[in-house]
Amino acid sequence: MPEFGVSEGCSGSSDDDGASDGVEIRGRWHIVWRNVILMSLLHLGAFYSLFLIPKAHPFTWIWSYMCFMFTALGITAGAHRLWSHRSYKAKLPLRIFLAVANSMAFQNDIFEWCRDHRAHHKYSETDADPHNAKRGFFFAHIGWLFVLKHRDVIEKGKRLDVSDLLADPVVVFQRKYYKISVVVMCFLLPTLVPWFFWGESMWNSYFLASILRYTISLNAAWLVNSAAHMYGNQPYDKNINPRENQFVTIGAIGEGFHNFHHTFPFDYSASEFGIRLNPTTCFIDLMCWLGLASNRKKASPEMIMARRLKTGDGST
């Protein structure tokens, strides 16, 4: 059983190297070169985009930032707090809005994202965790997308209950039309709006609103898996690796309170402190106020204090 190998197929999920019959080739470092090349090109493109910033129209900067926020909400308020953790309820219009935003994020479809994320929580820091931070910063950050999944991710992942995801027509629809929705939301729309409305060149808008925005949002999410599993304090549970990391919180619009989140994953705010440094919580609160969301789950102050005293590292 080889522990080191090179993927021959162009897709990580092809039958050749796939989950069902490919257990024998699922070594720890079975590299998927297609992903290595595409991610390298993407990051080179993002670096090049930085030089276009001074040449672009200020509205293009604002538009790129708006696309970033929309992208981020599709992950944080959508795939993460709503669909992975069911920490609040959302009505159909809000679920559609979040699914569209999620396609702009291009971080795998909602079903796949949530299945991996549930595996990450249930089997945290083991081989069944898709981005097991015990395999190092690089693996937890981006490296896990460069290799075939460990066989434990697939075997133990099959035991997860994902019936709620399959019962949501919005999730099923997004999965069915995922590729075309990504082309439109992640690449076409961000590029065409600045060109159409204020005469920006397609070159500038493609690189800033699409490539740079996408690359930054990917890295913001990946930092939760890497940095927030390694650097920061552990006020709620010092026996687990996830940490409170303010730097990550800012980039990931409220998702860096990761020691809290792994201790109380059902909490809709993913933080003890409600809206503080937490645009995602502000958004969910706003949706509740508008009547589009409800049933926000929150860990009580007593529960949090008891846990701090029992397993916290004593920091605040």
Which ranges of 109-177 would DSSP assign to H, the alpha helix? 110-122, 137-141, 151-157, 163-166, 169-176
Nearer to ligand ST9, 198 or 247 (CB): 247
CA 107/CA 92 separation, integer angstroms: 22
Instruction: Write down the least CB distance from residue 248 to ligand ST9, Å.
Output: 8
CA 299/CA 241 separation, integer angstroms: 20
Residue with tokens 């997308």: 145
Nearer to ligand ST9, 130 or 194 (CB): 130
Instruction: Write down the least CB distance from residue 254 to ligand ST9, Å.
Output: 9
Interface contacts to ligand ST9, rule CB under 6 A: 12-13, 17-19, 32, 35, 72, 75-76, 80, 106-108, 112, 115-117, 119, 130, 145, 148-149, 153-154, 157-158, 217-218, 220-221, 224-225, 252, 255
Nearer to ligand ST9, 35 or 201 (CB): 35
Instruction: Write down the least CB distance from residue 281 to ligand ST9, Å.
Output: 13
Nearer to ligand ST9, 55 or 159 (CB): 159
Nearer to ligand ST9, 200 or 260 (CB): 260
Q: Give the residue among 142, 124, 119 at the shortest CA–CA distance from 134.
A: 124
- Joined tokens for residue 182: 């990504």
Instruction: Write down the least CB distance from residue 292 to ligand ST9, Å.
Output: 21
Pairing outcome for strands 29-31 and 4-6: parallel
Q: Give the residue among 187, 7, 28, 197 at the shortest CA–CA distance from 105.
A: 187
Instruction: Write down the least CB distance from residue 107 to ligand ST9, Å.
Output: 4
Instruction: Write down the least CB distance from residue 261 to ligand ST9, Å.
Output: 7
Nearer to ligand ST9, 157 or 200 (CB): 157
Q: Nearest residue by C-beta to ligand ST9?
A: 157
Q: Give the residue among 146, 306, 302, 301 at the shortest CA–CA distance from 222.
A: 146
The conformation of residue 30, written as its DSSP 8-state character, comes to E
